[in-house]
C-alpha cells in the first residue's frame, strides 16, 4: 500500500476531486475550481520532486483530474492510475511536456493540458538578463564585493563586453526568441542574425522599422539577417563569446561546455536549464565565467499565477465537458480577473487524438 501523502484541502464537500501535486502561486486558480464545485487537494509534502508512488497515493481511488509539474514522470503507470480513479484530465503547469508520455495518455483517454501564451515576455526578459549578467560579469563582481576583495578602482577590473552595435544571434525565432531579439535590438541597438525553419516576417519588419527610426535621428541603423544554418549564426554573431540557454537543457552538451569554458576564459554562458536537471555536469558550478540560475525563466508573479490558472482551467474544462480554445497562444480572456473565464479548455495538446471539439468562442 502506498504511503499516505500530506495534503491541504479546500472545499471538502466539492463534487469533483482535483489534485495539485504542488502548491502553486496565487489563489485565483483555487477559487475558480471551488466555484465549479471542485474539492481541491494540494500536496504539502516537503519534497521537491514527487515520486510515481507519491502521486499514485495522491490520486487514490477517486480523482477527476490532476495538475502536475514538469519534474514528474507522467507515463503509463500514472495515467493508468488516474484512469482507474475515474480521471480524464491532467495538466502540466508548464508550456513544455517532455515529462509526459502523450501516447500513454491517449491510451487511457486522458486529456493533457499545458500553459502556453503566458510565458513569452517573462522568459525573454530572463534571457536578456542572463545576456547582461554574462557580458558585464555581474555575478563575478557581486561575489568579489561580498568577499571583501574590493580595495579600489582598477582599469582592468571585471572588464566585460559592450552590447551596443554588436550582433545578437538567435536560434529559434518563435514567440520567445522573437521577443528576446526585439529586447536586444531596441534596448541595446544590436543587429540581429537569426536561424529558424520559418521566416520571422514580423520580427524582420520590426528590426527594419527600428533601423529606419534610428537613421532618421542621425544614428547608426540596425539590420537583420536570416541565416541558412545554426553554424552561420554562431560564426557571424558578434556576441559569440556569450551563450544563453533558456529553452531546453539537452540542447547544450554540458561536458563540452565546461571544457570550452576552461579553455576560453573570455567565453561566457548564462544557463536557466540543464542537461540532466536538476543536476549540473561536474565542473560547471566552479566556472566563474558561467551564470547559472535554477529554471526561473517563467518566474514572475504574473506569469506563474497565470500558469496556475491555465493549468487549473485545462483540468476544469475537461471535467465539465467544455470544448478546446481555438488558439492556445491567445489566452488573455482566461487571465482577466475582472470577468469569468471562457467556457473552454485553454490548451489540450492531445485534443485531436482524443477527438475533442474546438470552441467557437
> Pick the catalytic residue: 125, 186, 204, 277?
277
Positive or negative torsion for Cα 176, 179, 181, 183: negative
C-alpha cell, 313: 482551467
Using an 8 Å Cβ cutoff, are 117 and 347 in contact?
yes
Nearest to 74, CA basis, from 57, 60, 91: 91
Q: Answer yes or no: are the C-beta atoms of 144 and 88 closer than 8 Å.
A: no
**In this structure, are residues 66 and 59 in contact, taking their beta carbons and an 8 Å threshold?**
yes
Instruction: Give the active site residue among 17, 39, 137, 295.
Output: 295
**Residue 195 DSSP code:** E
Helix orientation angle between 175-188 and 201-216, rounded to the nearest 10 degrees: 10
Based on the residue annotation, tell me whether 260 is a catalytic residue of this protein.
no
Q: Name beta bridge partners: 258.
A: none
Query: Is 277 an active-site residue?
Result: yes
Burial tier of 172 (Cβ tally within 10 Å: 0-12, 13-18, 19+):
middle
Helix (H), strand (E), coil (C) string for 236-273: HCCCCCEEEECCCHHHCCHHHHHHHHHHCCCCEEEECC
Distance separating alpha carbons of residues 187 and 62, to the nearest angstrom: 52
At 334, is the secondary structure helix, strand, or coil? helix
**8, 248, 259, 286: which is the annotated catalytic residue?**
248
Active site residues: 248, 277, 295
Amino acid at each position: 500500500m502506498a504511503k499516505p501523502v500530506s495534503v491541504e484541502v479546500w472545499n471538502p464537500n466539492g463534487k469533483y476531486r482535483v489534485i495539485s501535486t504542488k502548491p502553486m502561486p496565487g489563489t485565483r486558480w483555487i477559487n475558480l475550481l471551488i466555484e465549479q464545485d471542485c474539492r481541491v487537494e494540494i500536496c504539502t509534502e516537503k519534497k521537491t520532486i514527487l515520486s510515481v508512488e507519491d502521486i499514485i497515493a495522491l490520486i487514490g481511488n477517486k480523482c477527476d483530474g490532476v495538475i502536475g509539474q514538469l519534474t514528474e514522470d507522467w507515463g503509463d503507470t500514472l495515467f493508468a492510475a488516474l484512469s482507474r480513479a475515474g480521471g480524464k484530465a491532467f495538466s502540466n503547469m508548464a508550456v513544455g511536456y517532455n515529462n509526459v508520455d502523450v501516447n500513454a495518455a491517449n491510451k487511457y483517454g486522458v486529456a493533457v493540458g499545458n500553459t502556453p501564451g503566458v510565458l513569452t515576455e517573462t522568459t525573454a526578459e530572463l534571457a536578456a538578463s542572463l545576456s547582461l549578467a554574462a557580458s558585464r560579469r555581474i555575478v563575478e563582481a557581486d561575489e568579489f564585493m561580498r568577499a571583501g576583495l574590493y580595495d579600489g578602482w582598477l582599469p582592468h577590473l571585471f572588464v566585460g563586453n559592450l552590447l551596443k552595435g554588436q550582433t545578437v544571434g538567435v536560434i529559434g525565432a518563435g514567440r520567445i526568441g522573437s521577443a528576446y531579439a526585439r529586447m536586444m535590438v531596441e534596448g541595446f541597438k544590436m543587429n540581429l542574425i537569426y536561424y529558424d525553419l520559418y521566416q520571422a516576417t514580423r520580427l524582420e519588419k520590426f528590426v527594419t522599422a527600428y533601423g529606419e527610426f534610428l537613421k532618421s535621428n542621425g544614428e547608426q541603423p540596425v539590420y537583420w539577417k536570416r541565416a541558412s544554418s545554426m553554424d552561420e549564426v554562431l560564426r557571424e554573431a558578434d556576441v559569440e563569446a556569450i551563450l544563453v540557454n533558456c529553452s531546453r537543457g539537452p540542447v547544450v552538451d554540458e561536458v563540452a561546455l565546461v571544457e570550452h569554458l576552461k579553455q576560453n576564459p573570455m567565453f561566457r554562458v548564462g544557463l536557466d536549464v540543464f542537461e540532466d536537471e536538476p543536476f549540473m555536469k561536474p565542473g560547471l558550478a566552479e566556472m566563474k565565467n558561467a551564470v547559472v540560475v535554477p529554471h526561473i525563466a517563467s518566474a514572475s508573479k504574473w506569469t506563474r499565477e497565470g500558469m496556475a490558472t491555465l493549468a487549473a482551467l485545462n483540468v476544469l474544462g475537461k471535467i465539465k465537458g467544455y470544448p478546446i480554445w481555438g488558439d492556445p497562444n491567445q489566452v488573455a480572456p482566461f487571465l482577466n480577473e475582472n470577468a469569468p473565464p471562457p467556457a473552454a479548455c485553454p490548451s489540450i495538446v492531445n485534443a485531436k487524438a482524443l477527438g475533442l471539439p474546438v470552441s467557437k468562442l
